[in-house]
Structure 1
Amino acid sequence: MDNEDPLRKFKERFHIPEVNGQPAIYFCGNSLGLQPKTAAAFLESEMRSWAEKGVEGHFMGENPWLYARKRSKPLLAGLLGAKELETVAMNSLSTNLHLLLVSFYQPKGKKTKILTEPGAFPSDRYILESQSRFHGLQPKDTIIQVQPRKGEHILRTEDVLRSLRLHADELALVMMSGVQYYTGQWFDMRAITEAAAEKGIPVGFDLAHAIGNVPLQLHDWGVDFATWCSYKYLNSGPGNISGIFVHERHAHRSDLPRFAGWWGHNEETRFLMDKDFEAMPGADGWLLSNDHVLGLAVHQASLEIFEEAGLENLRKKSELLTGYLEFLIRKISGDGGILEIITPSLPKERGCQISLLIHKGGKAVFDALYRQGIIGDWRNPNVIRLAPVPLYNSFTDIYKFAGILEISLREFV
């Protein structure tokens, strides 16, 4: 499989961490993607511009900082299934989610509630709760969580849609993950969006674990808004820049409330310092501050690798990698009841992630894996998340991992 892999050369484009002096098997792309070897050159180019031009770097050179964000727009649009108008790189995920909820969560009358998933990433829960309180509401009365059925770990799409229709008269917003961080489940974003649109309910997604991982068509699906981070599957560096998507139908809506900043003002008149805010059309109208030039440089290095590799090719390999990983885990675990896969088995329902409930051995097994060169991700109380990323993981990586897992289970279970 490795010999037939058209993407096999991309692994050479990334720095691979070492454990005990040997290259690690890195299955942690859902927490922090690896560094592209080109990132330093992209960053150095902006550092050199700063050194040589100073403030004039805003207006001179190959990539004038005044328009730094624009270089990433077509590449982000391709990953999102969006128009360039609809997306922009800016801020951090949590900041962006707050900004977008100011515009799209507008409780009024009996329509005050938010439909979401259970066990959403804590930051998302905190944000939804604080936005609820911001409007004078109580989260316990406002936030509706669709629960998995008894004995199940993932949400069935029909249950999400049933809850949406049941509460439609009370819902002011549907807000979910694209890919669930804990289980790796890829929600049926299209079906959820279409059901919400039928009832006139805005819908938004946190794409932190979806962008660069699964194919998206946000424009065609009719998603109202989305945000994400770039340091996971987008390999853009720890804590690096986020981005937003706002559908084209909202591009010129002056009636939408927003927390404005001067970089979101009409760039043709921005430096006239007018007192009246005039939002730029599309996602750029949500900008607050001038562009994060150094962060965007590293971001660009990775985005260009994605464009070269092609998301369709990455997705095809991703399905093969997770399929092989699932097969070997099931073969090793057998009927022992020690390991339980909580990620959907159907490839169309998951990202490049397999999450394992480990019922015996727990953290000791995880630590043993690390000592043998496996870098995964531990989530309390007893879940190991494994993300075989198609840009830099191979089928041999998975084969080696399975052998190490088998030995570790024998030692600690």
Structure 2
Amino acid sequence: MLVTAEVGAEELDKQFPCLSRDEFNIPTYKSMGTPNVPDGKTEQDPLNYMCGNSLGLMPKQTKSFLSAELDAWSERGVESHFRHPDEECTSWVDVDLPLCSLMAPVVGAEVDKVAVMNSLTVNLNNMLIAFYRPTAQRYKIIFEAGAFPSDCYAFMNQCRNHGIDPNVGLVMLRARPGEEHLRTEDILSAIDEHAETLALVCLPGIQYYTGQFFDIATITAHAQKIEGVKVGWDLAHAVGNVELQLHDWNVDFAVWCSYKYLNAGPGGIGGVFVHRRYETASGETTYLKRLAGWWGNNREERFEMRETFNPIQGALGFRQSNPSVLDVVSLKSSLLLFQKYGGVAALRKRSLMLTDYLLGELQKLQFCFRDEPAFRQSGKPLGFAIITPWQDPAQHGAQLSLRFYSTTIEAPMAKVFRELNCRGVIADERRPDVIRIAPAPLYNTFADVAETVAILREALETVAYK
């Protein structure tokens, strides 16, 4: 345990205060229209927002960042591309460039090897164009059977685009029977098994459903022992959540979104990492294959409208179009807070304490069981098991996933989720039977965790016995 079980939430918040909480707008019981305000609370009080794994909260300063760009549009129109009226803002032609130095430490990369661009799945498809180059000998993609659907669709259609039957080209890894998580040794074994025909390994940094944090360094190194195999990572649930060292881990490429732990807003702009070994000499025509557009072209030549493509070195050369200014500055607003409060390393320490406290409080509930067989043996009408690999902090991020079981109640998870929501807990449901709870270290407190678990107990009692 990272926090002492006997220490209460109030004392923990004194010892480890959330210094950045006031930087964020937190929904209130009134703003959410919550019908049941707990005793001791008023409608104006913030409720328990435990859903940073799905959509991070809005930094208060984001409004001013957006307003500055709307003012620029209003005051100078197209001229703001080159002459922004606010001296503290970046002209639109380069608006995304300052974010490279803010994003690089979040993912453990060199500044020019990251780019802020597009959305997550668009970026994944862009990287697959570049890094999935199947041959008659090497054509298989290893990924996990429980991958987020958009990743699965991308892999399936990349196979089809190359004339490969997905049933032949895709190797979908599943956990062992009776287990929730993919063991690292099983991933490595699968890589060895398909070594002669393998082209690409692409896995999530953190599995969206179970919350498992994969051993990126070990898996990457093992796969790259095979000549010709590339390794990429979908970091949607990992970026801003856990410490990443993409350069040192020798990852070929990575993609991510920014609306979860990075708090950039719904549908926020995504990002990519491309390792430095894929650079080419200026003007060389043998650059890594990619989808191309003028924002990836040499900046000094961009407005000369040449009919030749000379990509910018590093990740910026994979951009295609100018980014949404509003999306970019929304992300910048949050990344500045990461920088202000010590970066991911400092926040990760606090995150582990919050999640460890959540784990301990959940395990005190009479409805919490080790696994489904233990629940079945209990004779209780309702229960849950924590399916995130909680025993080792190195195997999870902020999120704990709770799988619900019942012997008599139809759709128990949905009923418990509804009771949580109407009592002022904003969590995240994933069908068929999981609720994800994720305390975010930038704005959640130990009191949030304690109240969430107390409300969960009430919800469980209501569903089970009333």
| TMscore range, shorter length | over 0.9
Q: Does the Cα contact within 8 Å between 1:39 and 1:301 map onto a contact in 2?
A: yes
Query: Among 9, 15, 18, which residue is 2:28 paired with?
Result: 18
- Inter-partner Cα distance in structure 2 for 1:5 and 1:399: 15
Identical-residue share of aligned pairs (%): 45
Residue type of the alignment partner of 2:224:
A
Query: Is 1:246 paired with 2:279?
Result: no
- Determine helix, strand or coil for the equivalent of 2:15: coil
Query: Is 1:341 paired with 2:341?
Result: no
- Inter-partner Cα distance in structure 2 for 1:405 and 1:292: 40
Q: Does the Cα contact within 8 Å between 1:86 and 1:251 map onto a contact in 2?
A: no
Q: Does the Cα contact within 8 Å between 2:50 and 2:440 map onto a contact in 1?
A: yes
Residue type of the alignment partner of 2:64:
A
- Inter-partner Cα distance in structure 2 for 1:309 and 1:151: 41
**How has the CA–CA distance of structure 1 residues 359 and 248 changed in structure 2, closer, same or farther, with 3 Å as cutoff?**
same
Query: Is 1:198 paired with 2:231?
Result: no
* Cross-structure match for 2:97: 70
* Cross-structure match for 1:84: 111
Query: Is 1:363 paired with 2:427?
Result: no
- Determine helix, strand or coil for the equivalent of 2:71: helix
- Inter-partner Cα distance in structure 1 for 2:77 and 2:420: 48
* Cross-structure match for 1:5: 16
Query: Is 1:384 paired with 2:435?
Result: yes
* Cross-structure match for 1:300: 332
Mapping 1:206-225, distance limit 5 Å: 206-225=234-253
Q: Does the Cα contact within 8 Å between 1:66 and 1:291 map onto a contact in 2?
A: no
- Inter-partner Cα distance in structure 1 for 2:293 and 2:368: 57
* Cross-structure match for 1:402: 453
Q: CA deviation at 1:404?
A: 1.1
- Inter-partner Cα distance in structure 2 for 1:119 and 1:291: 31
- Inter-partner Cα distance in structure 1 for 2:459 and 2:111: 48
- Determine helix, strand or coil for the equivalent of 1:182: coil
Q: Which has the higher helix share?
A: 1
* Cross-structure match for 1:130: 157
- Inter-partner Cα distance in structure 2 for 1:129 and 1:275: 33
Q: CA deviation at 1:367?
A: 0.6
Query: Is 1:234 paired with 2:262?
Result: yes
Mapping 1:34-73, distance limit 5 Å: 34-61=57-84, 62=87, 63-73=90-100
* Cross-structure match for 2:307: 275
- Determine helix, strand or coil for the equivalent of 1:125: helix
- Determine helix, strand or coil for the equivalent of 1:358: strand
Q: CA deviation at 1:251?
A: 2.1
CA-atom RMSD in angstroms: 1.2
Q: CA deviation at 1:4?
A: 1.4
- Determine helix, strand or coil for the equivalent of 1:220: coil
- Inter-partner Cα distance in structure 1 for 2:194 and 2:340: 44
Residue type of the alignment partner of 1:11:
R
- Inter-partner Cα distance in structure 2 for 1:30 and 1:402: 18
- Inter-partner Cα distance in structure 2 for 1:31 and 1:402: 19
Q: CA deviation at 1:9?
A: 2.3
- Inter-partner Cα distance in structure 1 for 2:217 and 2:368: 36
Query: Is 1:262 paired with 2:289?
Result: no
- Inter-partner Cα distance in structure 2 for 1:43 and 1:362: 38
- Determine helix, strand or coil for the equivalent of 2:224: helix
- Inter-partner Cα distance in structure 1 for 2:187 and 2:71: 51
* Cross-structure match for 2:123: 96
* Cross-structure match for 1:317: 350
- Inter-partner Cα distance in structure 2 for 1:362 and 1:273: 56
* Cross-structure match for 1:112: 139
Residue type of the alignment partner of 2:130:
S
Q: Does the Cα contact within 8 Å between 2:232 and 2:253 map onto a contact in 1?
A: yes
- Determine helix, strand or coil for the equivalent of 2:141: strand
- Inter-partner Cα distance in structure 2 for 1:394 and 1:43: 28
- Inter-partner Cα distance in structure 1 for 2:62 and 2:82: 23
CA deviations 1:190-210 (Å, max 9, x no partner) are 001101111131000111101
- Inter-partner Cα distance in structure 2 for 1:359 and 1:110: 46
Residue type of the alignment partner of 1:40:
K
Unaligned runs of 5+ in 2: 1-11, 35-42, 376-382, 407-411
- Determine helix, strand or coil for the equivalent of 1:239: coil
Q: Does the Cα contact within 8 Å between 2:368 and 2:385 map onto a contact in 1?
A: no
Unaligned runs of 5+ in 1: none
- Inter-partner Cα distance in structure 2 for 1:157 and 1:15: 39
Residue type of the alignment partner of 1:138:
D
Q: Does the Cα contact within 8 Å between 1:204 and 1:226 map onto a contact in 2?
A: yes
CA deviations 1:183-238 (Å, max 9, x no partner) are 11110000011011111310001111010000000001000011111111100000
TM-score relative to the length of structure 2: 0.87
- Determine helix, strand or coil for the equivalent of 2:432: coil
Residue type of the alignment partner of 2:396:
R
TM-score relative to the length of structure 1: 0.98
- Inter-partner Cα distance in structure 1 for 2:394 and 2:321: 38
Q: Which has more radius of gyration?
A: 2
- Determine helix, strand or coil for the equivalent of 2:58: coil
Residue type of the alignment partner of 2:15:
E
- Determine helix, strand or coil for the equivalent of 1:385: strand
- Inter-partner Cα distance in structure 2 for 1:162 and 1:212: 30
Q: CA deviation at 1:334?
A: 4.7
